[in-house]
């Protein structure tokens, strides 16, 4: 049963990934300007264009090129970069580590803080809680600013104010890394927090807590149960949050100078390296689709 569910999930993700790649292939390979963008000045000379396309494995009819790409992909061959001709898998290895190192604290923060904070937020009446709410309201709502603007503002703070002041100290790298994590986490944190507050408030309106208390549960047990329910109700947000984190990573790595997958994507965009862009976007899409499949399974 478990194996069947797993297999059907994998098949569904693979099917959607194929559709995503079909769309990317249509944009990168079939649009009129694609050949020129792929090969630049070489596209002017027809013979040179054909020879280069053959060398890079982008020759032949469209369906053949698409099928060949997937055949190679299934064998673990991600193809070659159009700028430089090096294997894409070699480039990815070094850059993935940097992105994962940035994503680990982001995911940890998202898993650990917003939902307990929301559960604390909806506690009525107590003076200390109200004071804390007043202090927290501004930082929480600042997360609604578009993610790339948050990255720009934090980078300006780093570059304009802190970089000189901290240069040469051990704090410099830590501060830069902390600001980068903050810039990725800001919007997903706020979205998750606001959704959790909404979920808890509606749970409170339905008098779950009263029923739990009447069944003899302690205050702590009720809170744990509410948080579990909150997690279950918030699963549909997972794919959206993953996409938000992925786009946040692009801006953060570009600005803060981390040499990860996000920066690689921007470099590929600026160098018109469409093969590399296609693989990077497919990886991102795979992560989003897998998360979305996971949430679909549990809702």
Q: State which of residues 44, 100, 156, 232 lies at the interface with other proteins (CB under 8 A).
A: 156
Q: Which range of residues in 1-9, 121-129, 134-142, 242-250 is near other proteins by CB under 8 A?
A: 242-250
Q: Which residue from 43, 109, 152, 217 is in contact with other proteins, where contact means CB under 8 A? A: 152
Question: Which range of residues in 77-85, 99-107, 216-224, 278-286 is near other proteins by CB under 8 A?
Answer: 278-286
Closest distance to other proteins from the beta carbon of 206 (Å): 20
Q: Which stretch binds other proteins (CB under 8 A): 40-48, 79-87, 209-217, 280-288?
A: 280-288
Per the listing, tokens 């720009």 go with: 152
* Of the residues 9, 14, 20, 113, which one makes contact with other proteins according to CB under 8 A: 20
Instruction: Write each residue from 27 to 66 as x if it is in contact with other proteins (CB under 8 A), else as -, in one continuous string.
Output: xx--x-xx--x-----------------------------
Stretch that binds other proteins, among 102-110, 114-122, 170-178, 267-275 (CB under 8 A): 267-275
Least distance (Å) between residue 124 CB and other proteins: 25
Is residue 289 a contact point for other proteins (CB under 8 A)? yes
In the complex, minimum distance from the CB of residue 254 to other proteins, in angstroms, rounded to a whole number: 7
User: Does 250 contact other proteins by CB under 8 A?
Assistant: yes
First to last CA, the chain: 18
Tokens of 175: 């501060």
| Residues 162-221 interacting with other proteins (rule: CB under 8 A) | none
Plot region of 217 (φ>0 → left; ψ -120 to 50 → alpha; else → beta): beta
Q: Which residues contact 28 (CB under 8 A, 6 or more apart)?
A: 34, 38, 274, 277, 278
Nearer to other proteins, 121 or 256 (CB): 256
What distance in Å separates the CA atoms of residue 78 and residue 276, rounded to the nearest whole number? 9
Stretch that binds other proteins, among 2-10, 135-143, 209-217, 284-292 (CB under 8 A): 284-292
111 scored as a contact of other proteins (CB under 8 A): no
CB of 113 to other proteins, least distance (A): 25
How many binding residues for other proteins (CB under 8 A)? Answer: 39
Binding residues for other proteins (CB under 8 A): 16, 19-20, 23-24, 27-28, 31, 33-34, 37, 146, 148-149, 152-153, 155-156, 159-160, 239, 243, 247, 250-251, 254-255, 266, 269-270, 272, 274, 277, 281, 284-285, 288-289, 292
């Amino acid at each position: 049963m478990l194996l069947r569910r797993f297999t059907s999930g994998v098949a569904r993700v693979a099917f959607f990934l194929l559709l995503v790649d079909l769309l990317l292939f249509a944009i990168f390979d079939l649009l009129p300007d694609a050949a020129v963008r792929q090969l630049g000045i070489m596209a002017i000379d027809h013979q040179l264009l054909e020879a280069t396309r053959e060398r890079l494995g982008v020759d032949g009819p469209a369906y053949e090129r698409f099928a060949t790409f997937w055949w190679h992909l299934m064998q673990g061959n991600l193809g070659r970069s159009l700028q430089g001709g090096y294997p894409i898998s070699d480039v990815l290895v070094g850059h993935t580590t940097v992105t994962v190192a940035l994503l680990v604290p982001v995911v940890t923060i998202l898993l650990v803080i917003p939902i307990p904070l929301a559960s604390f937020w909806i506690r009525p009446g107590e003076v200390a809680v109200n004071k804390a709410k007043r202090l927290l309201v501004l930082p929480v709502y600042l997360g609604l600013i578009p993610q790339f603007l948050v990255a720009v503002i934090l980078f300006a703070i780093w570059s304009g104010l802190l970089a000189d002041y901290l240069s040469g100290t051990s704090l410099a790298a830590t501060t830069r890394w902390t600001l980068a994590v903050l810039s990725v986490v800001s919007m997903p944190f706020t979205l998750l927090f606001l959704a959790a507050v909404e979920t808890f408030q509606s749970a409170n309106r339905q008098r779950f807590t009263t029923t739990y208390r009447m069944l003899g549960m302690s205050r702590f047990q009720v809170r744990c149960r509410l948080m579990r329910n909150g997690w279950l109700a918030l699963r549909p947000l997972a794919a959206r949050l993953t996409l938000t984190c992925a786009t946040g990573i692009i801006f953060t790595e570009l600005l803060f100078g981390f040499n990860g997958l996000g920066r690689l994507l921007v470099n590929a965009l600026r160098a018109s390296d469409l093969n590399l862009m296609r693989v990077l976007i497919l990886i991102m899409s795979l992560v989003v689709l897998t998360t979305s499949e996971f949430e679909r399974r549990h809702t």
